[in-house]
Structure 1
Amino acid sequence: MPYAELKAFEGLAAAEAGRGKDPVNEPMIRHWCEAMGDTNPAYAGADPIAPPTMLQAWTMGGLSGHEGRSEAYDALFALLDGAGYTAVVATDCQQEYARALRPGDGITFDAVIESVSERKTTKLGTGHFITTRMDVRADGEPAGTHRFRILKYAPAPRKPQGKRPRPVINRDNAGFWEGVAAHRLLIQRCVGCGELRFPWLPGCNACGSPEWDTVEASGEGTVYSYVVMHHPPFPAFDPPYAVGLVELAEGVRIVSNVIGVPYDEVRIGMPVRLAFRRVDEELELPLFRALDDGAGESTRGARG
């Protein structure tokens, strides 16, 4: 796509005769200050002003959007989408303030496509930076200027790389990981009341006893619940994949991957069996394989 086609959008309107959905008001000021932890007395009391950085908040259209967005802005995005630049991320903004905003001020604004960059290559992918300038008015008087820059880009292909994050091993759960290394899934059992618990804890939730021993899980279980992870693509993970909350035959539940069937075929109630998979030269993890697929990783049942 010739850059000249994009450059031609510079100076065209992005929004015309926009109007804030609400006048400046004290409830929104209060919510903003509470969220930001800003206790400046200028934003409360008998004659408050709005925090200057709220400038854009008064112009936002919410889920239903604004009617004032221009055809040129939509055409620019359609052109970029058609060229494969389908992703977008906000990069930065700049604000200038002309006067304080007070409760009751009615907000109007116009916006212009100020610049479209040449093609740039970033870690996210290749694309174009688009800067819009919004001129904000309060009851017809200039109130401030808001410049907003986004990157419209084609996502760079991502491949799993590096090692999985290491589990945090401490004195309270070291025995569990020692069991995993020996292909045993160990469940804590309270010596005081016999309650089973997972994950491992230093004391019993039922009776408070700090004394415990272990039992080895049979490895049989069912999918109690699950999610399918699509995004974000972390290093060493290859989405999409299913993460299940598996209820073991012993009654406790464990979170782990469900394997052996496509991610979109995992179902609540599906029977699964414990399997161990070495994910790199240092780390082995307990996973759960659907019982209708018997090949693959080492599976272990109870050994008495």
Structure 2
Amino acid sequence: MAAEAEAQGETLSYEGLRAFEGLAAATAGEGRDPVNAPMIRHWCEAMGDTNPAYEGPDAIAPPTMLQVWTMAGLSGYAGRTGAYDDLLALLDGAGYTSVVATDCEQEYVRPLRPGDSITFDAVIESVSPLKKTKLGEGHFVTTRMDVRAGGELAGTHRFRILKYAPRRRGADPPAPRAPERSRSARPRPVVNRDNAGFWDGVAAHRLLIQRCGDCGTLRFPWLPGCNACGGQEWDTVQASGEGTVFSYVVMHHPPFPAFDPPYAVGLIELAEGVRIVSNVTGVPPEKVRIGMPVRLEFLRVDEEYELPVFRAEGERV
């Protein structure tokens, strides 16, 4: 299958695939049901989420339910266009017949409440060049869906799949990444409207924690709404930089050129009471212990990028 896909893939023009970028995947789609309390209750019970913001007369829907109100069965949803099906058919014809969902990203603009009528539009946002993965060669396809409540934008849902040709069983695995790849090629975080302020703070050597404007609860990581009361207003406080190792893991595998295993990844409990995942430095990874005091510092990983890490107190490089 992989060899067949390679042969067929030679006739698949990337320019032809990119021609689908910007085409509508759905227009004027409608949710089958309004936002409603029973679905919210089922969702919260399945997730074990007991937040009081999701029940009662002033309830809102959990933000992560954004896509739920747009989903339909195998028959598809109203408003679906042929462009997305045509793109997948083109990839199928070139031998990229398998599919796996890889990731999604959501942005929340306003809360959804029981009774809201949902409409949506979707667009094919991008098609990647041919990529080599452990599953096989293929193309990543990203769609963006704008979800509206009463005609007002409520949030955006980006969904990415890999359409690939599976490697034949027993075939040689993909070649390792080129050894000349520099360790400075550290993976970049996803920066969006909800967390951009955090990364602006890091650039200024400030570790910022969100504080709810309604109930004062501190929260980390950054979120569009308060976990405690559902409030949407917030400001920030700067962390003192003091903390302790709440939990940790020592990474040995898989190897990645940007990192040098073994290294310790810790769940750090800050003095302010919130927790952050980061590297523990200053001691060999086998010396990291739960309860170890640590202090914030900023590690430059390349010319443009710094990360907050935590050094064991009293230790020196």
Q: TM-score, normalised by structure 2?
A: 0.50
- Which residue of the partner structure matches residue 53 of structure 1? 64
- The sequence identity of aligned pairs, in percent, is 77
| Alignment counterpart, residue 84 of structure 2, candidates 69, 73, 78 | 73
The offset of 1:69, in angstroms, is 1.4
* 2:170 pairs with 1:159: yes
Match of 1:99 among 110, 117, 125: 110
Instruction: Specify the alignment match of 1:87 in structure 2.
Output: 98
Query: In the alignment, is residue 44 of structure 1 matched against residue 55 of structure 2?
Result: yes
For 2:103, give the aligned amino acid.
Answer: D
In structure 2, the residue matched to 1:148 is 159
Aligned AA for 2:165?
Answer: A
Cα deviation, 1:75-103, whole Å, max 9, x if unaligned, reads: 10110000011111100011011100000
Q: 2:14 aligns with which of 3, 25, 47?
A: 3
Counting matched residue pairs gives: 161
Cα deviation for residue 105 of structure 1 reads 0.2
1:159 deviates by 3.4
Aligned twin of 1:33: 44
**Distance (Å, rounded) in 2 between the aligned partners of 1:125 and 1:112:** 26
Output the amino acid matched with 1:53.
T
Call closer, same or farther: CA 1:160–1:130 in 2, change over 3 Å: closer
Partner Cα separation in structure 1 for residue 54 and residue 168 of structure 2: 46
Runs of 4+ with deviation above 6 angstroms: none
Q: Which has the larger radius of gyration?
A: 1
User: Aligned-residue CA RMSD in angstroms?
Assistant: 1.5
Q: Determine which of 113, 128, 134 is the counterpart of 2:145.
A: 134
- Paired residue for 1:113, among 124, 139, 143? 124
Q: Which amino acid aligns with 1:19?
A: E
Deviation (angstroms), 1:29: 0.3
Distance (Å, rounded) in 2 between the aligned partners of 1:4 and 1:125:
21
Shift of residue 113 of structure 1?
0.4
- How far 1:58 moved relative to its partner? 0.5
Once the two structures are superposed, residues 91-122 of structure 1 have per-residue CA deviations (whole angstroms, 9 ceiling, x without a partner) of: 00110111000000000000000000000010
* Matches of 1:19 and 1:145, distance apart in 2: 15
In the alignment, structure 2 segments of 5+ residues that lack a partner are: 1-11, 173-317
Could you tell me which runs of 5 or more consecutive residues in structure 1 were left unpaired when the two chains were aligned. 162-304
Q: How does 1:179-194 map to 2 (within 5 A)?
A: none
Alpha-carbon distance between aligned partners in 2 of 1:28 and 1:63, rounded to the nearest angstrom: 20
TM-score by length of 1: 0.52
1:237-252 mapped onto 2 (5 Å cutoff): none
Question: Aligned to 2:30, which of 1, 6, 19?
Answer: 19
Q: Can you list the C-alpha shifts for 1:5-38, whole angstroms capped at 9, x where unaligned? A: 1011001101111100110000100010011110
